[in-house]
Amino acid sequence: QVQLVESGGGVVQPGKSLRISCAASGFTFSPYSMHWVRQAPGKGLEWVAVISYNGINKYYADSVRGRFTISRDNSKDTLYLQMNSLRAADTALYYCARDNLGMGPAFDIWGQGTMVTVSS
């Protein structure tokens, strides 16, 4: 079935780095732009970053620009988020989501999320 599965989350110290991944299956990954969205514990959704289908165009939220890098490997059907200089405020459940141009482009498929905790 169509699904996105995130991995790579964990506990990391402030100032350190972490890379999380999102593996796609059940659909052709390469034509779709992909996003990362995060949710701090007990809080709402915050859009983080997007990458175009071919990996050329990337946009970031102000809160992560310069520290986070989104990338993808279409040969592996996988999306990545490299997170550097992590802060306590980056603690959240990180979701990847598919951007469906035929729907607006709304986010029609979401993963279950991977938890990132920044703490000393």
Partner 1 sequence: EIVMTQSPATLSVSPGERATLSCRASQSVSSNLAWYQQRPGQAPRLLIYVASTRATGIPARFSGSGSGTEFALTISSLQSEDFAVYYCQQYNDWPYSFGQGTKLEIK
Give the dihedral sign, CA 54/56/57/63: positive
36 exposure class (CB count in 10 Å sphere: 0-12, 13-18, 19+): buried
Q: Pick the closest to residue 51 from 31, 67, 66 (CA basis).
A: 31
Binding mask 80-109 for partner 1 (x = CB under 8 A): ---------------x-------xxxxxx-
Binding mask 31-70 for partner 1 (x = CB under 8 A): ----x-x------xxxx--x--------xxxx--------
| Residue 40 near residue 27, CB atoms below 8 Å | no
Minimum CB–partner distance for residue 24 and partner 1 (Å): 15
Which residue lies nearer to partner 1 by CB, 50 or 81? 50
Binding residues vs partner 1 (CB under 8 A): 35, 37, 44-47, 50, 59-62, 95, 103-108, 110-113
